[in-house]
Amino acid sequence: MLAQCRPADHPRWDRVCVGSVPAVVDLDAAIGFVVAHGDAVERARLSWLRAGAAPSPELLDSAEVGQTPTGGWPAVWGADVASVDATCFRLAELDDLGALGRPAARRALDWLASRQQADGGWEEDPALADDAPWWARPGDPEARLYLTATVTFWLTVADLDARHVASGRRAAHSPDPRWPAGPPDQAAGAYAGSAYQGVVQTAVQALAGQLQPDGTFPSYLAVGWLSAAVFHQQELFYESARIQVSLADRMPKLSPANAASLAAALRRVGVDEQHWTLVAARRRLAETQRSDGGWESDDGHQFDVHTTLAAIRACR
């Protein structure tokens, strides 16, 4: 790993300089890793993240395949019961293809909103009790909190994109075609981007009620950065900062997959790239990037490309 600071405008490097020890993320190597090891959808995600290159209609159709009539996606191919966790995972892939404005993603977002429970949270269908992964198991309070944070994040992103488009910021950022392809609602003016406002506000109250004094949650680590992103967008800056302080304490030992997901989530809701949490996360990514340009997934080498794409999103 090269330990130096390249010029800030150098196209091939993301510079991280904290204190007296510089570090760099080699984005060229990361791109090469995805090109060499990614499938067609993953390479299309890379093209969108790099240059806003629109995927072919056929590829988008393949990325959306398997959606149930209700709007969600199942966890198991061909199953009839949609999964909250699997639907959020699919939305993350579609987001990297610039496809959150397409009808399939809009139906999925509407389905997620309709699944909110009375206390503001989300849980998998009881029919998935035997098949759901441990982090999404119905009846588990930790899994419930994780799903609540994940769904709230994506509904927040959807409304944020709609506001950006309605405000004309797409035109203002015309050199970057990666701006959202279209709003997930048809509202205009002051109401644009409010399709899920009530759902999100109820969920935010539920999440805030679980935030501990030390900035942690009684659940998985990802709940922290997803909630920090949501709270930032809801202008709950104090609560977001408490979480980020807690995450910063863990940063030196954070896995590359977690560091990438953390930074990508905060960047997605508009946290400035020079914010200290993001600088620390990029430092961690620079420290953990492999010689082949990729990063190791927590879920096995078959997901290394997915982790590397998250790191590219975090650093671009």
How do residues 87-137 score in pLDDT, each as one tens digit?
A: 999 999 999 999 999 999 999 999 999 999 999 999 999 999 998 999 999
- pLDDT above 50 (res 183): no
Q: What is d(CA 226, CA 207) in angstroms, rounded to the nearest whole number?
A: 10
Task: Calculate the average pLDDT of the chain.
Answer: 88
| Residue-wise pLDDT tens digits, 31-75 | 999 999 999 999 999 999 999 999 999 999 999 999 999 999 999
- pLDDT above 70 (res 154): yes
User: Residue 156: CB partners within 8 Å, gap ≥ 6?
Assistant: 196, 200, 229, 230, 233, 234, 269
Sign of the CA dihedral with 283 first, then 287, 291, and 295 last: negative
Task: Give me the residues paired with residue 23 across strands.
Answer: 16
**Percent of the chain's residues with pLDDT above 90:** 79
SS3 235: coil
84 and 124 Cβ atoms separated by less than 8 Å:
yes
pLDDT (0 to 100) of residue 21: 43
| Alpha-carbon distances of 44 from 175, 190, 234, 311, rounded to whole Å | 19, 34, 32, 16
Q: pTM for the full model?
A: 0.86
Q: Hey, what are 191's tokens?
A: 């109401």
Q: What is d(CA 156, CA 270) in angstroms, rounded to the nearest whole number?
A: 12
Buried-exposed string 91-116: b where 16+ CB fall within 10 A, e elsewhere: bbbbbbbbbbbbebbbbbbbbbbebb
Average pLDDT score over residue span 148-153: 99
pLDDT (0 to 100) of residue 116: 98
Task: Specify whether the backbone of 212 is left (phi greater than 0), alpha (psi in -120 to 50) or beta.
Answer: beta
| Residue-wise pLDDT tens digits, 70-97 | 999 999 888 899 999 999 999 999 999 9
Identify which has the larger pLDDT, 15 or 236.
236
* Segments making up each domain of the chain, as ranges: 27-168+193-315
Residue 167: how many other CB atoms lie within 10 Å: 13
Give which of 46, 71, 92, 31 is closest to 222, Cα–Cα: 92
The amino acid at residue 91 is L
Identify which has the larger pLDDT, 217 or 76.
217
pLDDT (0 to 100) of residue 193: 62
Q: Hey, what are 198's tokens?
A: 């009530």
User: Residue 283: CB partners within 8 Å, gap ≥ 6?
Assistant: 16, 18, 23, 251
Query: CATH for 27-168+193-315, among 3.60.15.10, 1.50.10.20, 3.20.20.210, 1.10.10.10?
Result: 1.50.10.20
Q: Which long-range contacts (CB under 8 A, 24 or more apart) does 33-37 make?
A: 33/292, 33/293, 33/294, 33/304, 33/305, 33/308, 34/294, 34/305, 34/308, 34/309, 34/312, 37/294, 37/304, 37/305
- Could you identify the residue written with the tokens 């806003």? 52
Average pLDDT score over residue span 171-200: 57
pLDDT (0 to 100) of residue 196: 96
